[in-house]
A and B are shown apart, each in its own frame.
Chain A
Amino acid sequence: MRGFGELEQAIMDAVWAADGPLTVREVLERLNRERAQERAQELAYNTVQTVTEILHRKGWLSRAKDGRAFRYRSTKSREEYAASLIDQVWATGADRTATLVRLFDAMDEDEVAELRAALGERRERRERGRGAGDAGSRS
């Protein structure tokens, strides 16, 4: 089912890249134009329609009737989704680390300034230490 996930991603990419809402036919044309460049096999209309409908059901796309077809638009921008994921990582509090482990944390500005200074000093000492033997090894 890995290919399915990739198709979801490709459809969302096409919708996000477009200026306005797209019909399934337009999504298909965009995807196949890309695939022609990569010499990949063309996608069938039904496949794209099915996966687009799945994305609609999952809440990624909203749709509106336009003549005989539906036009799909993304409910949120890619940046909004990315921001919500990062917010989620931040909100993963100190007692929920088993879910994901993050490598960034809050520090107050004084502390950051102090550590930056220590880092700078260390780097300088290392540069000098290269010339002057093991002068900098004691710490």
Chain B
Amino acid sequence: MNVAVLLLGYAALIAVLAPPLLARTHWAARAPRLGIWAWQALTATVVGSVVLAGLALAVPVLPVSGGLAELLQACSLTLRQQYGTPGGGAVAASGTALALAVLARVVWCLAAAVLRAWTERRRHAAVLAVVGRAHAGLGVTVLEDARPAAYCLPGQGHRVVLTSGALAALEPGELDAVIAHERAHIRQRHHLVLAYAEGLERAFPRLSLFRTAAVETRRLVELAADDAATARTGSLSLATALVELAGAGGRPAGSSSAGSPAGPPASLAASGGQVAGRVRRLLGGHRPLHRAVVWGGALAAGALLVLPLVVAAQPAMASTGTKSCPLPDAPVAAWGVW
């Protein structure tokens, strides 16, 4: 019972504290990949804690069957004692239900997010294969459209797509920067990063932790790709390219056919400020965090991720110390058994 309370308290603490403390911090923009990892670790540790809390409630009544039961009779008694729950069956049942419900919801929503993105990408790629032309020099696919635009289709058979409008609007150095940015998205598998964040957001839309994590992740993957691109081409080229694309983007240029909408859909307006912020960041001179600080932060996030496992396993580890438990007393082995 104590373990479950501890785990739930930990999950609640992180869910409440993380969004205001971590969103819009300055260090995340200085180390976007660390920021992405921090959000992944925090969201995963909250989900993990709740699931483990449910399981910890269920341990005392876990049915242990057959010969193993006899062998471990004394041990399971000790385990029951360690995880001792007042309320017995009802609490255990609700614990199991909680663990299963949370787990099922997360798995379902993550799978749905990945599958939906994959289906849409495939449909898009099928049309692109017939309509697009390969640009041998740049190694990209070109679409005939006067609107300057650039995007990437990640995943299997990934490709970078530019419109003829973008080819005409950008200087060679700017094109290189844009392509390097898109390749970084593909190389760093940002589609999976985003699918994870968006899957969790869909699983628990009411929780501000997951909403904030998704918003921040979307911002940080762009910054991470910007950093990868500027390492190759210099920040001024990328900043210029961003302004050129954003300045002309969405407006259907005179020759554009097919009655495209007169402006970007409403959903884009919200992220409009993002590009401006990125350009200012590129112009302001990027000061990446010190390598040691980044590693320290990454380890701290990892520790937060492992903490609920340690808390949940602690009573089991304690039981291995008692004489009644015929488990090897090396804690390493106890991990495997539990």
Contact = CB atoms under 8 A, between A and B. Distances in A.
Interface of A: 5, 8-9, 12, 60, 77-91, 93-109, 111-112, 115-116, 118-119, 122-123, 126, 139
Residue of A12, A60, A81, A123 with highest tally of chain B CB at under 10 A? A81
Contact of B182 (A78, A101, A105): A101
B120 A95 contact: no
A105 B271 contact: yes
Contacts of A106: 246, 249-250, 263-264, 268-269, 271-272
Given A95-B267, A112-B246, A119-B240, A139 B143 contact: no
B126 to A, nearest CB: 9
B198 A86 contact: no
A103 B131 contact: no
B261 interface: yes
B85 to A, nearest CB: 40
Interface stretch (B101-109, B149-157, B297-305): B149-157
Interface string B265-289: 1011111101110011001110000
Contacts of A79: 144-145, 257-258
Interface stretch (B36-44, B64-72, B188-196): B188-196
B21 interface: no
Return the 5 tightest CB-CB contacts between A and B, nearest first: A93-B267, A102-B151, A83-B258, A104-B245, A98-B195
A100 B131 contact: no
A104 B148 contact: yes
B218 interface: yes
Contact of B268 (A94, A98, A103): A94
Nearest to A105: B275
Interface string B211-223: 0001000100100
Contacts of B269: 106
Nearest to A123: B236
Contact of B150 (A80, A88, A103): A103
Interface of A: prevailing SS: helix
Interface in B287-338: none
B124 interface: yes
B33 interface: no
Contacts of B4: none
A87 B260 contact: yes
B136 interface: no
A41 to B, nearest CB: 21
Contact of A94 (B143, B218, B279): B218
A96 B191 CA distance: 10
Interface residues of B, number: 72
B113 interface: yes
B53 interface: no
Interface of B: prevailing SS: helix
B56 interface: no
A83 B260 contact: yes
A94 B271 contact: yes
25 contacts: A60-B130, A80-B258, A82-B131, A82-B163, A85-B124, A85-B127, A86-B260, A87-B261, A91-B265, A93-B267, A94-B218, A95-B198, A96-B120, A96-B198, A97-B194, A98-B198, A100-B121, A100-B191, A101-B154, A101-B221, A106-B271, A106-B272, A119-B279, A122-B283, A139-B283
B190 to A, nearest CB: 6
Contact of A101 (B190, B267, B270): B190
A84 B258 CA distance: 7
Nearest to A102: B151
Contacts of B132: 82
B17 interface: no
Given A77-B257, A81-B130, A86-B147, 11 more contacts: A79-B258, A82-B163, A95-B198, A97-B198, A99-B116, A101-B194, A102-B151, A104-B148, A104-B249, A115-B243, A115-B280
Given A79-B145, A100-B121, A103-B245, A115 B258 contact: no
B272 A82 contact: no
B258 A116 contact: no
Contact of A97 (B129, B218, B257): B218
B30 interface: no
B117 interface: yes
Residue of B116, B243, B256, B270 with highest tally of chain A CB at under 10 A? B243
